[in-house]
A and B are shown apart, each in its own frame.
Chain A
Amino acid sequence: MELRNLGEPVRSAEGSTPVGVRTVGIVYRKELLETLRDRRTLIVMVLLPLCLYPIVGIGITRLIGAQEVRREQRPSRVALQGPVWTDLERGLGRGHKIEVQRRQATEDALRRARIDLLLVVPDDHGRTLERNGTVKLKLLYDATSDRSRLALQRTREVVRDLTRRLVRARLQHNALPPTLTRPIDAVSHQIATGRAVDAQLMARVLPMLVILMVLLGAFYPAIDVTAGEKERGTLETLLATPVNRISLMAGKYLVVATAAVITGLLNLLSIGLTLKLGLAPALKAAHVASSIPWDAVALTVVAMIPAALFFAAAMIAVASLGRSFKEAQNLLTPVLLVCQLPALAAQIPGVELNLVTALVPVVNIALLTRDLIAGRVLWIPAGVTLLSLLAYTAVALKLAARVFESERLLFAPDPGTGRGRGLWRRLLRRDRGAAAGPGASHAAASPSQAAALLLAVMALILLVGQPLQAHQLMTGLLITEWVLILVPVLLLLRLANLSPRGALALSRPSPTAVVGGVLAGLSAWYLVGLLVELIQQRVMPMPPEMAREYHRALFASDRNLLLDLFALAISPAICEELLFRGVLLQATRSVMSVRSAVLLNGFLFGVFHISPYRFLSTMLLGMVLALIVLRAGSIVPGMLFHMLNNASAIVAGKLLGEEEAASSEAALSWPLLSAATVLFVVGMTLAIRAGPSAPRDPAG
């Protein structure tokens, strides 16, 4: 071994140590190299965006486009019943894609989808017309069938034309001017450019996406360059070098920001290409958008860069607190959620970017992105947004640098458990006993897995579910529940190898809890509805036209009740419960107290329903459900509660009819109120006191 020579003496490094910009550059280059070699980062930064959007795009195309095109091209089969009415039949024959037939003119054929519409002509239509009377045409259709509804639409057009001709003939016959029946001719002109209309859709979806993708892009690098370096033991050697800690932090920060920007750009690129190459024809066919506003996609980049700078700083500040990779991951997950939620601001009508909202972080990014895309930017609030973001970035960096100065955080021993129990509490130096009891489930999802799942489901709903529901409510709802919510839950279970019992609380409930869930579920809709009505009407009343629209959509009287119950009560009771009271609640209960878990669950459930007008009611329901499931130790009473709550509301809506259901005064009755209160209190007491069922034989 040649040990005689350790090399020529090096000039003392004293005085030539790098400061400031040069150190930042050295750290930046090294951290970037390391980040680009991290598989996790590469997956989130490159692979995910490049695969996600094309896959989602193909899905949408298949679902909407193909179906739509096929449906449009297929002629509607209209069967006529009753005497011959030549004018009508000729009209139908000339009508758009209608096949008239006299065979199978029965309701039964309609029910079996042999025909799409049954048109019943009254026997005396000829005489009625001669007497200037009104002919009563009956159009029978099946509201659950897309083809049948399309047939109705097409037939109505023909009838409208015929009516117009008959009116003209009557007026002529009586020597009256044709304008007699048209005292007003209202012509509407819309002034928004085509771009503005299409940009609406982009303005809804892109701000959420921009924030989500930038956050995800910063996530792993932020952990890697801080807590990761602590865990590997390299931070100590790094801090033993004569470099300024601020420069060190700056170099690391810039790498995280770079990763966030690259992730954002690749996502936008992938969205753009998917839209251009695959999705545009489908969206056009579905009347969702007629053209893609490319400048909107490009403008998003402008908002993305300050967003990336801010998020990178916030995430690096929090990640520095973690002593190990896993701990930092558990710390950052709530940050991911908290940063994601204010992005919904861009969805609330009436919330504008002004001097106040420009000061609220994340909200200002969401609003600025929205306005940039919609092509209406107010320059002063935009400027304030950028300045305030810079200020917040500086504060976050200052905090991060301070963490690097803190011995307590640098050299605290790693707890090793990695579950991060009470982590935030410990960091905030509030010592209280561990909240979760002993024997907390070992097979629940980790908080970060649960958060990732929720974010993925939210993204799917915004990207796929909402357009689908706007296009076709019932099908859209069913796909949302069973595909967009349930499938990711099952995938997580499968991939993370979690047990249904531990991760979803899918276990046999005690009979008392079941009875309690049923009683409380039957009465809750009335109480929650009333309470919300009382509070919300004062705080944030739903615009009346929106309320009418909402009730019409949900309580449409011409739909099959069983279908309604399946889509609006049974499906959410299964799918939403498995996500919220299953994965999310079980994941959070091991890291926080029952109270916090219930509050967080309700809050997330409220946010999940996207509409600010439904936030309060859904949040309350979420909290009640979380409490029941936690106390009963089983998700089943929660599912029953959820199902009966929704079912009662639907049945009541049908019974009361559209108008009454929309106004609460009609529904307020004291006997009903007291009965519901008693039922609810008894039910909740039973559900909460019941406790989990006796543990089964371990062998079973």
Chain B
Amino acid sequence: MSIVAHDLRKHFTHRPAVDGVSFEVRDGEIYGLLGPNGAGKTTTLRMLAGLMRPDSGRALVAGHDMHREQRQAKAALGFTTGTTGLYERLSPTEVLAYFGRLYGLDEQLLSRRIEELTRVLGLGSLLHRRCGSLSTGERQRVSLARALIHDPAVLILDEPTAGLDVLASRFVAGVVREARDRGKAVLLSTHYMAEAELLCDRVGLLHQGRLLWEGSPDELKQQQQARSLEEAFLQLISVGA
């Protein structure tokens, strides 16, 4: 198992944000964490990426405990946030080089990786512009390249298609599938049900900090006798409430 969330709990000042969430993502699998805003998706991903410490429970990445073997766990992880945050005054090349070095790549390997990712993600014309001048779609491509720079075994992507147009979303979906096909474990969050239905091998439905249901999109639709994932989700919530 490449990503293991075991009974993760996180409490904020007034309310539990994540309330006992457990799931696993296998190698070569895309797992989608679905839910409305405030369901606890981002908090769950942050705990798995080692940015937040769970109040209780364990997070494992590539077999390493995110708390006890943090360095190994993080070295195996590529992570993007929902903001496609890039250094505005640096060029994509400089951003990629910075992160590559932080992941311990030597200069030769680094330039090879940048070359490959440039080709695969079509960054050619962007490489020497300032990130501040890139469009949202272009930023997301650079952001993905940054997460892939050290060829991690595990990808955690928070809302990778948020704010993107149709073409850019498709492109990102293509990159995610490609990563899956190369045996990586991909965990992503989204609130676009239709997209998750097309992209994810399995989904987990998160609502008010709890995992309501887990399985393939088709299983869920069958079980709820719904035409779409969205319909199934709404039915589940109304039952739960």
Chain A interface (Cβ within 8 Å of chain B)? 1-18, 23, 26-27, 30, 33-34, 37-38, 232-243, 407, 410-411
**Cα A343 to Cα B83 with chains together (Å):** 43
Q: Which of B81-132 contact A (CB under 8 A)?
A: 81-90, 94, 98-99, 101-105, 109, 112-113, 116-117, 119-120, 122
B116 touches A4 (CB 8 A): no
Residues of chain B within 8 A (CB-CB) of A234 are 85-87
Given the known A-B contacts A17-B75, A240-B51, A411-B52, are A6 and B81 also in contact in the complex, defined by CB atoms under 8 Å?
no
Q: Smallest CB–CB gap between B142 and chain A, Å?
A: 12
B68 in contact (CB, < 8 A):
no
A241 touches B102 (CB 8 A): yes
A4 touches B178 (CB 8 A): yes
A3 touches B120 (CB 8 A): yes
Q: Which residue of A has the minimal Cβ distance to B143?
A: A237
Q: Smallest CB–CB gap between A596 and chain B, Å?
A: 26
Q: Count of B residues near A, CB < 8 Å? A: 56
Can you report 22 residue pairs joining A to B where beta carbons are below 8 Å apart?
A: A1-B171, A7-B112, A12-B153, A14-B75, A30-B90, A33-B94, A37-B90, A232-B83, A233-B84, A235-B85, A236-B81, A236-B85, A240-B74, A240-B77, A241-B74, A242-B102, A242-B103, A242-B104, A243-B102, A410-B51, A411-B46, A411-B51
Residues of chain B within 8 A (CB-CB) of A38 are 89
Sample of 6 more A-B contacts, CB < 8 Å, known A2-B120, A7-B116, A243-B102:
A2-B119, A30-B87, A34-B90, A236-B79, A240-B79, A241-B99
Residues of chain B within 8 A (CB-CB) of A27 are 102
B109 touches A10 (CB 8 A): yes
Q: Smallest CB–CB gap between B115 and chain A, Å?
A: 8
B85 touches A34 (CB 8 A): no
Chain A binder among B21-29, B144-152, B216-224, B227-235: B144-152
Residues of chain A within 8 A (CB-CB) of B80 are 237
A34 touches B81 (CB 8 A): no
B146 touches A13 (CB 8 A): no
A10 touches B101 (CB 8 A): no
Residues of chain A within 8 A (CB-CB) of B191 are none
B116 touches A6 (CB 8 A): yes
**Cα A26 to Cα B104 with chains together (Å):** 10
Q: Which residue of A has the minimal Cβ distance to B153?
A: A12
Q: Which residue of A has the minimal Cβ distance to B174?
A: A3
* Most chain A CB neighbours (cut-off 10 Å) among B75, B90, B117: B75
Q: Which residue of A has the minimal Cβ distance to B83?
A: A233
B98 touches A10 (CB 8 A): no
B51 touches A239 (CB 8 A): yes
A interface majority secondary structure: loop
Residues of chain B within 8 A (CB-CB) of A15 are 72
B101 touches A7 (CB 8 A): no
Residues of chain B within 8 A (CB-CB) of A12 are 75-76, 153
A18 touches B81 (CB 8 A): no
B117 touches A14 (CB 8 A): no
A10 touches B105 (CB 8 A): yes
Q: Smallest CB–CB gap between A241 and chain B, Å?
A: 5
* Most chain A CB neighbours (cut-off 10 Å) among B46, B71, B86, B117: B71
Residues of chain B within 8 A (CB-CB) of A37 are 89-90
Set B52, B103, B122: member contacting A13, Cβ < 8 A: B103
Given the known A-B contacts A3-B174, A12-B76, A17-B104, are A233 and B85 also in contact in the complex, defined by CB atoms under 8 Å?
yes
Q: Smallest CB–CB gap between B102 and chain A, Å?
A: 5
A30 touches B79 (CB 8 A): no
**Cα A236 to Cα B86 with chains together (Å):** 11
**Cα A3 to Cα B51 with chains together (Å):** 31
B79 touches A14 (CB 8 A): no
Q: Which of B176-195 contact A (CB under 8 A)?
A: 177-179, 182
**Cα A384 to Cα B84 with chains together (Å):** 48
Residues of chain A within 8 A (CB-CB) of B151 are 6-7, 9-10
Set B53, B75, B81, B112: member contacting A242, Cβ < 8 A: B75
**Cα A38 to Cα B89 with chains together (Å):** 7
Enumerate the 7 nearest inter-chain pairs by beta-carbon distance, A residue then B residue, closest first.
Answer: A233-B85, A233-B83, A7-B116, A10-B151, A242-B74, A240-B79, A37-B89
Given the known A-B contacts A7-B113, A232-B88, are A17 and B79 also in contact in the complex, defined by CB atoms under 8 Å?
no
Set A1, A18, A26, A240: member contacting B98, Cβ < 8 A: A26
Q: Smallest CB–CB gap between A468 and chain B, Å?
A: 42
Interface string of B138-177 (1 = CB under 8 A from A): 0000000011101111000000000000000001001101
